Amino acid sequence: MQSCIGRRFSEGEDRAAEILFCLCFDVFGWDMQNPPPSSNSGFSYLIFHLLSSANKCVKKCRGLVERAYSRVYEIAFLYAEHKLYSLSLPSLLEIVFYEGRNFQGRHWECSSDCMDTFRHFNYCNSLRVSGGHCVLYEKPHYMGYQYILSPGEYPDYHWWMGFNNCIRSCQMFPPYRGSYRMRIYNRPDMMGHSMEFMDDCPNVYDRFRYRDIFSCNIMEGYWIFYEHPNYRGRQYFLRPGEYRACGDWGCHNPMVGSFRRMRTLM
């Protein structure tokens, strides 16, 4: 996983940091939204106990802990940014890819973004997603058909509306339980007729009166655009940011039939 300070963490560091983060919820029994009265900031309290737990629980692995400190901060910021308040122990993000249908055959467990899965498996006919959402891509480097999956089991590639059993890269995203808001435009560069949405839309034309979305501004939450009405056809994942042309979300055609929020079920 690439860090915000420009270095790549090893799988061991990444896993150690996530385990330390989970220990805080498990051992201390608090949540970020309602920190104990003794702390001035829930986030500061989180960081303090993350680092304290690191020293107390894994002193024998000092080198690994020190290398994981930066990753601990990143995970804490990630959870704070996405408003992941929970009273329960958070699950680790993970995808298990299987070459055979019904979770059979050779498999590979993935807990971070992967730009090229070729060295791990040849094709994917079933998979399990846990702890968050994932975006699968038909080609390496996050290119080609996109498939946006929620936590669950997928015994066949048709279950994720796959066009084939080829998955060559993937991205993972933590659960999001905040608000949703975006504005769509019928011209590039966020020009022309516009409309703001905060909920799902099974038929864009019925509400927007245009079939083409040339640009949009995602202000809050994760969204999914679909090629056809009623959430069918090719999928496109959009995170917060400005998209001044349809090519910015990986589409060569501005026609969008429907869209919905990528929601985390409670």
Give the start-to-end residue ranges of the domains of the chain. Answer: 11-81, 94-173, 181-261
Q: At 207, is the pLDDT very low, low, confident or very high (cuts 50, 70, 90)?
A: very high
pLDDT, residue 18, reads: 55
Residue 79, both tokens? 């959870």
Asked whether the predicted pLDDT for residue 66 surpasses 90, the reply is no
| Closest to 261 (Cα-Cα) out of 234, 233, 239, 229 | 239
pLDDT, residue 209, reads: 94
pLDDT tens, 160-185?
999 999 999 999 988 888 899 999 99
Asked whether the predicted pLDDT for residue 27 surpasses 60, the reply is no
* Full-model pTM: 0.66
Weakest mean pLDDT among 90-99, 107-116, 118-127, 245-254: 90-99
SS3 142: coil
pLDDT tens, 212-240?
999 999 999 999 999 999 999 999 999 99
Measured from the Cβ of residue 235, the count of other Cβ atoms closer than 10 Å reads 21
CA 48 – CA 33 distance, rounded (Å): 16
Shared fold status for 94-173 and 181-261: yes
Sheet containing 152-154: give its strands across. Answer: 107-110, 94-98, 126-130, 152-154
Instruction: Provide the CATH number for the domain formed by 181-261 in this structure.
Output: 2.60.20.10
CA 22 – CA 77 distance, rounded (Å): 14
For 52-76, what is the mean pLDDT? 49
What topology does CATH give the domain 94-173? Gamma-B Crystallin; domain 1 (2.60.20)
